[in-house]
Amino acid sequence: MRLAMIGFGQAGGKVLDAFLEYDRRTGSNLVRAALAVNTARADLMGLEYVPEDRRVLIGQSRVKGHGVGADNELGAEVAEEDIDEVMGALDDVPVHEVDAFLVVAGLGGGSGSGGGPVLARHLKRIYTEPVYALGVLPSAEEGGIYTLNAARSFETYVRETDHLLVFDNDAWRRSGESVQSGYDGINEEIVRRFGLLFGAGEVEAGGEVAESVVDSSEIINTLAGGGVSTVGYATEEVERPDAGLLSRLRGAEAEDLDPASTTNRITSLVRRAALGRLTLPCELEGTERALLVLSGPPRYLNRKGIERGRTWLEEETGSMEVRGGDYPRRDAAEVSAVVLLSGVTRVERIKDLQRVAIEAQENIEDIRARSDANLHSLVEEDAEELEPLF
Ligand SMILES: Nc1nc2c(ncn2[C@@H]2O[C@H](COP(=O)(O)OP(=O)(O)OP(=O)(O)O)[C@@H](O)[C@H]2O)c(=O)[nH]1
């Protein structure tokens, strides 16, 4: 699947950078157009792979290049004020070469959390391609403001995009480690999973022909209908196929693998992917649609394994809309399963996030009310609802 990817804010920029590095390393060519947008000059300067002319600093008249300090209402305001500059930078995107837009952002901060949905709304108004977001949830240790930002931004992203794919930093923090010290590893995990998923729809001309190809329309159909998605992943090393002339002459490549063990490997990978750590922890039951992608050297992929994996996923999720197929990669040294669970409904983490956010909102309002009696009249008596950002 060919993407126009916009990294909004610090986390968004760094994840975009990691995708560009992945593209370069694997030759995937997923990101057909890249743009990093931020209110903080230093964050933009720290990027390595995003070309300098693909970086846009917004809000200079308001925050002078210093960021919005986790104020996502301000993030939304400056994005709206400078939207022409951002949209202008996207003018030369070869839209006919792009299947979808993907806005990437941390939901806990200010710029990407507030500005990303503003950009998504403008993209949707102008382009017919779907506009997705990849939103990163904060870790619990980051505190109330981040949680409150994330809860409000989450609602706004769901409303303003065609689909919100979620990655939860909290679920990926190693015990005893702060989330900050683990960003590189976390970003690698994000790119590994979403790179394989989006890469599946993009088998190059002259590349391997999949037995049952996953193309970009299957990804788009799985994400259709909006809502929230999570991604599972599992992998197993296999013997690297030796494509050398000598071994080919010896017929080594034609050597058959036992089809039953190939099928079993695939079904066990599918289970491990769906039951292991998801990018957003949730229950499988209640998932509206799913997509299964099996990737690896072609001789380790078979239709029967994928069919069994699909059937198992249908039973576990209760969904009647489970798609599946191959993403052959001749030189891979592993077979991997990626499971996209789309339209998930049983997500404790989001309910918790909203509960903690309401508490944080009440505390913040209490503090404000105490520190300024005049403000009291502005504070709602019973603030049990979270307001969307705009
Ligand atoms: N996965 C991941 N999360 C990150 C990274 N950098 C920051 N975050 C998370 O993103 C959230 C903060 O958002 P940022 O992107 O830093 O904020 P911003 O959009 O730049 O907004 P301001 O800094 O307030 O102007 C926090 O929850 C961080 O844990 C990163 O490289 N990877």
pLDDT exceeds 70 at position 248? no
pLDDT at residue 242, rounded to an integer = 57
161-190 residue pLDDT tens: 999 999 999 998 876 777 777 899 999 999
Q: Tell the residue nearest (CA) to atom 6 of ligand 1.
A: 11
Cα(323)–Cα(321) distance, integer angstroms: 6
Cα(164)–Cα(189) distance, integer angstroms: 18
Q: Could you write out the three-class secondary structure of 183-200? A: HHHHHHHHHHHHHHHHHC
Rounded distance from Cα 109 to ligand 1 centre (Å): 6
262-320 residue pLDDT tens: 999 999 999 999 999 999 999 999 999 999 999 999 999 999 999 999 999 999 999 99
Summarize the annotated binding site for GTP as residue ranges.
10-14, 110-112, 142, 169, 187
Query: How many CA atoms, within 13 angstroms, populate the side-chain half-sphere of residue 289?
Result: 18
In eight-state DSSP terms, residue 253 is T
Q: Tell the residue nearest (CA) to atom 8 of ligand 1.
A: 11
Longest dimension (CA), the chain: 86
What homologous superfamily is domain 3-199 in, according to CATH?
Tubulin/FtsZ, GTPase domain (3.40.50.1440)
Mean of pLDDT values over 230-259 = 71
pLDDT at residue 206, rounded to an integer = 54
- Determine the topology of domain 216-342 in CATH: 60s Ribosomal Protein L30; Chain: A; (3.30.1330)
Is the Cβ–Cβ distance between 58 and 227 less than 8 Å?
A: no
Mean of pLDDT values over 113-127 = 98
Ligand 1 atom with the shortest distance to the CA of 114: 19
In a mutational test of the pocket of ligand 1, which residue from 6, 10, 191 has the highest number of ligand atoms less than 8 Å from its CB? 10
230-243 residue pLDDT tens: 999 999 999 765 55
318-356 residue pLDDT tens: 999 999 999 988 889 999 999 999 999 999 999 999 888
Q: How far out from the chain centre does Cα 314 lie?
A: 23
Read off the pLDDT band of 382 (50, 70, 90).
very low
Cα(150)–Cα(110) distance, integer angstroms: 9
Percent of the chain past pLDDT 70, that is, above it, reads 88
Query: Alpha helix locations (H) across 289-345?
Result: 303-317
Q: Tell the residue nearest (CA) to atom 17 of ligand 1.
A: 109
Ligand 1 atom with the shortest distance to the CA of 8: 19
pLDDT exceeds 80 at position 213? no
Read off the pLDDT band of 360 (50, 70, 90).
confident
pLDDT exceeds 50 at position 378? no
Is the Cβ–Cβ distance between 238 and 300 less than 8 Å?
A: yes
Rounded distance from Cα 74 to ligand 1 centre (Å): 16
Greater model confidence, 202 or 211: 202
Rounded distance from Cα 371 to ligand 1 centre (Å): 29
Summarize the annotated binding site as residue ranges.
10-14, 110-112, 142, 169, 187
Mean of pLDDT values over 31-47 = 98
Q: Which residues contact 27 (CB under 8 A, 6 or more apart)?
A: none
Greater model confidence, 180 or 222: 222
pLDDT at residue 258, rounded to an integer = 87
Neighbours of 24 (CB within 10 A): 12
Rounded distance from Cα 163 to ligand 1 centre (Å): 20
91-118 residue pLDDT tens: 989 999 999 999 999 999 999 999 999 9
Q: Could you write out the three-class secondary structure of 13-79? A: HHHHHHHHHHHHHHCCCCEEEEEEEECEHHHHHCCCCCCHHHEEECCHHHHCCECCCCCHHHHHHHH
Ligand 1 atom with the shortest distance to the CA of 172: 1
Residue recorded with tokens 């979270």: 386
Lining residues, ligand 1, CB within 6 Å? 9-11, 14, 38-40, 43, 67-70, 106, 108-113, 136, 138-139, 142, 146, 169, 179, 183, 186-187
Rounded distance from Cα 137 to ligand 1 centre (Å): 9
Nearest one of 114, 126, 131, 41 to 88, comparing CA atoms: 126
Rounded distance from Cα 119 to ligand 1 centre (Å): 17
Q: Cα-flanking dihedrals φ and ψ of residue 7, to 5°?
A: -90, 115
Strand partners, 102: 5, 132
Please tell me which of 76-85, 87-96, 140-149 the model is most confident about, judged by mean pLDDT: 76-85
Mean of pLDDT values over 186-205 = 87
Mean of pLDDT values over 135-148 = 92
Is the Cβ–Cβ distance between 138 and 107 less than 8 Å?
A: yes
Q: Could you write out the three-class secondary structure of 145-176? A: HHHHHHHHHHHHHHHHCCEEEEEEHHHHCCCC
In a mutational test of the pocket of ligand 1, which residue from 136, 177, 189 has the highest number of ligand atoms less than 8 Å from its CB? 136
The residue ranges of every structural domain in the chain are 3-199, 216-342
Lowest mean pLDDT among 167-176, 219-228, 252-261: 252-261
pLDDT exceeds 50 at position 211? yes
Provide ipTM, 2 decimals: 0.99
* pTM exceeding 0.90: yes
Cα(206)–Cα(300) distance, integer angstroms: 20
Rounded distance from Cα 232 to ligand 1 centre (Å): 23
